[in-house]
Amino acid sequence: MKVLVLGSGGREHAIAWRLKRSPSVSEVYVAPGNPGCASVATCLKPSSSTPVDLLQLADSIGADLTVVGPEAPLVEGVVDLFESKGRLIFGPTRAAAQLEGSKIFSKRFMERAGIPTARFVSTSDPAEARKSLDQFDYPVVIKADGLAAGKGVVISPDRRHAEETLDGMFSGALVGSAGGKVVIEEFLTGEEVSFIGLSDGERVLPLEPSQDHKTIFEGDQGPNTGGMGAYSDSRILPQAQRDQVMRDVMERTVQQMKAEGAPFRGFLYAGLMMTERGAMVLEFNVRLGDPETQALLHRMDCDFGAVLHAAASGQVRPELLKFKQDPSVCVVLAAHGYPGKVRTGDEITGIEQAEATGATVFHAGTRMADGKLVTSGGRVLGVTHSGATLQAAIDNVYAACAPIRFDGMQIRRDIGAKGLKRW
């Protein structure tokens, strides 16, 4: 079958890379893609990123299945349009995508469904927001309601910082219009885990657990980013905890969405905090995580195209979904200035040498300029490798990072280190 992947980042490169290795897939297209995607698929440039133009593109190539990478097209209703025209697509409808599109919707949904999450207050009134701070201890978490490219969550250590954050949210200085409404919630302590399920609207299958590294500096210091690296390892969650997450979070979410008339079909991502009270949901995403996807798909050992086609057709097939036992690690190489004002246009070298070690280098923020590969975004590359043990995977991936160079390159050297205590 012909598969069209929508998006242009590292996640989409990884999806296309895995689909290229799927026996059920004859052709892979990515729109708009990036130079890395172009090495495994045909990149197409839609007239625009609107659902109408994306549908026209899918029609023009006769796509048998479309897979949506990023969240924005989902929130804009691309799935609704495709389904109304009878074209197969994998992802949630606009109504179901509110789980990510609105933090307030998501928190209230969790309340209705009885899904464990942090105590919170939501408001669009600056004065009410300031007053609500009285209800919380510090640190406190402040979230923009709307989509903010992974940068809409701020952890404030004290009252002054919290008030400044609220001022920045409501003024638009921090995340633009996404901060016009906010969620203020209690700070949870524990270890973060990314848990992603694959749902056909009625049932949900778990992928392997993974762990993102959000902050820019080692030791989980500095401002949050879109993710500086991730690893996937079966040991992240023992079976008893997986069962609890499936029962209390994933299955309950799918059942509640169906009951509310918005069946969830797609990738359901639960960002969890493993607390003394058990797994608590920090946030929902309605697509594969980035950079978790790179690590997860590196471990996948099955026909990804067949898995997605079955789920998009309304019938997940557990027997199709398989992963290798070997852990995998993805290390993000970020541009100068990230996560603030990013410098672009720096030449990138060393990718061929990195891949000669057995790694896969997924492109995120790259473009071609005058025959050279240069930086074009904050997160530039996701260097990904596996190993028989987590330590071996870590050693392998950092050895692969060594030959890659571009001016101002930022790299965390501790991706996966927290997982070593489980070995």
C-beta of residue 300 within 8 angstroms of C-beta of residue 323: yes
What's the CA dihedral at 179, 185, 187, 190 to 10 degrees? -100
DSSP bridge pairs for 185 = 120, 141
Could you give the C-alpha distances from 354 to 155, 220, 383, 389, in angstroms and in order? 36, 26, 8, 20
C-beta of residue 57 within 8 angstroms of C-beta of residue 4: yes
pLDDT in tens, 181-227: 999 999 999 999 999 999 999 999 999 999 999 999 999 999 889 99
pLDDT in tens, 27-42: 999 999 999 999 999 9
C-beta of residue 375 within 8 angstroms of C-beta of residue 334: no
Percentage of residues of the chain with pLDDT beyond 90: 95
E strands within 276-336? Answer: 278-285, 328-334
Domains observed in the chain: 2-95 (3.40.50.20), 119-184 (3.30.1490.20), 189-320 (3.30.470.20), 328-422 (3.90.600.10)
Instruction: Write down how long the chain is.
Output: 423
Kindly state the average pLDDT of the residues 256-283: 96
Q: What would the 3-class secondary structure string for 166-193 be?
A: HHHHHHCCCCHHHHHCEEEEECCCCEEE
Is the pLDDT at 178 greater than 90, yes or no? Answer: no
**270: which residues sit within 8 A by CB, 6+ positions away?**
194, 195, 196, 197, 245, 249, 250, 253, 281, 283, 284
pLDDT in tens, 367-413: 999 999 999 999 999 999 999 999 999 999 999 999 999 999 999 99
